[in-house]
Chains A and B, each alone.
Chain A
Amino acid sequence: MPPGPDGTLASVERRAVPSGSPPTPHPDAGRPVALSPVGRGRVGSVWRKRATIALFLLPAVALYILFVLVPIFQGAYYSVFDWNGLAPLTDFVGLDNYREALADPDFLASVRHVFVIVGLSLVLQLPFALGLAVLLNRKFRGRAVLRLLFFLPYVLAEVITAVVWKLILQPGGMGDRTLELLGLGAFSHLWLADTGVVLYTMFLVITWKYFGFHMILYLAGLQQIPQELQEAAAIDGASKWKTFRHVTLPLLGPTIRISVFLSIIGSLQLFDLVWVMTGGGPLDASNTMAVYMFDRGFQRSRFGYGSAVAVLVFLLCFVFALGYQRFVLRRDVRGALTSMGAA
């Protein structure tokens, strides 16, 4: 939901600028033209152009408003009521729902779980994906097959992934049997039934599911780096590590920043894998914010309270997304815009 609002809007505007004035690179170029002797005709054509833009934008804007903006405001409106989803909206409770959520240990635990997942993803999953990408960027036999294999989990539907892993991880399931066969029977756990283990089990499955996606991102980034730069570094006598650290990694910066952004937003919204595998349990030990919201809202028919939780999650994502774009992605975005304008 959050990358939608500002991401989509930004792209809509961005697209509007170049398509609105294709021949003139500068958006304000039309203004002095309006004062010229042939003014009337030009003004008319400018307005006609604008009408065309408006017409083409209308469906997208209408859909966007209907399915993104209206629900957000509706959610915010519902969140100040005690509402079971059936009765009329009469029980106005102000900010009580928010107070309750922020005081509910279950909700706070779900926030904590999400941040554990975010932290682990940044520290383990992404470096792992980057390492694989670097390895798979070399030329060797079977490279394409390996890339495909590593990317495959990402193609699977979330629900299928969850069901399969649930079967593997159940007591005495394939996971435990494999460990036994390897002589590691002592390592077998109640992967999904132990409240102290389940969150890390979830992280394992999340990593399995998504590392391929980040790997492909990094691979694409790596292939944009001109070979010459690495050759130049090598000629200058830089070691493999130094070449990676001082040439490859900085040039991969934009890709990494986007990958981190997607990873964090994805973790903040984590729902389907958890819902199908554990339902947030046992005893809420693997609850995420989205699972908590769905459970309170839909399962318990507390649509007002669920909306309040949704608004909190939205705000968290929104503030993060804006901050990240403002402070981390700024250079990348500006580069993209200027290069588009110049083209």
Chain B
Amino acid sequence: MTAFAQQLIYGASYGMNLAVAAAGLALIFGVYRVINLAHGQLIMLGGFVAYVVATQLGTHFFVGFFAAMIVMGLLSIVLENAVFRFLQRRPLTDQLLASLGLYMVLGTTALRIWGDFEARPIAMPGEDWALTAGEIRIDGARLVTIAITLVLFASLYFVVYRTHLGRTMRATAQGEETAALMGIKKRRVAAIVFFLGGALGGAAGAMLGALFNVRPDMGFQPLLMALVIIIFGGMGSIAGSIVAGLILGILYNLTVFYVGSKLGDLVPFLVLLAILMIRPQGLFGLPDRNA
């Protein structure tokens, strides 16, 4: 029972990190209708920005964290301008191929710079203490990332549902042309959505990097999980991302612990298969969105 509870906690903390990564992907897909596989590398590069700013320049974790969000947000806008705006009306395969290409370009670039797989740590508040209850422990650093995640989601919720900016994003998601008729600038919404999506990727990268060291291959598993999370949670649904992230993180940990470590990677695919069979529109997705 203790072991089970412990795995729930580990899984929930990992799942929250994944949810942040997935929310960026979900936001971009929800509003802009593009699947951005390069998101995995924004997570990785976010980790490196946080490392350079926090560790190499010797500032605080949060300075690196916000730098990662801002730099990845800006990079994401650049990618939208350079690549994604030509893909919006193209078939899914084109989007996947082009964004996979970007994934490789960014990945190879990172390997050119940091490909030695040296250990790149980021000092983080909470890493030297832990909460314990009996034999169950929660590392301080994990608690800090859970807190950050909650703040990020609250902020995201506020922006999307409580500001006019969010209203224009939602309107664009539900009817891009109609939104344009209301005087909403399509390019501006695209820039904002990509900024927020990239910033969330950067945040996820900074947190994962601080918890487990920054490394050039760190974007792959979160990308894989994030893709399943947004399908599971309902494409474009932010609330769905949190719930699906938690479920997937916990399932991953329970599988590793109770079934076998080698099978951990199978979990997202099994979940995906199950969703596609039982509830193709995802947890929070509506069966039929408007055109």
Report if A and B associate in a common complex: no
- Interface residues of chain A, those whose CB is within 8 Å of chain B, are none
- Interface residues of chain B, those whose CB is within 8 Å of chain A, are none
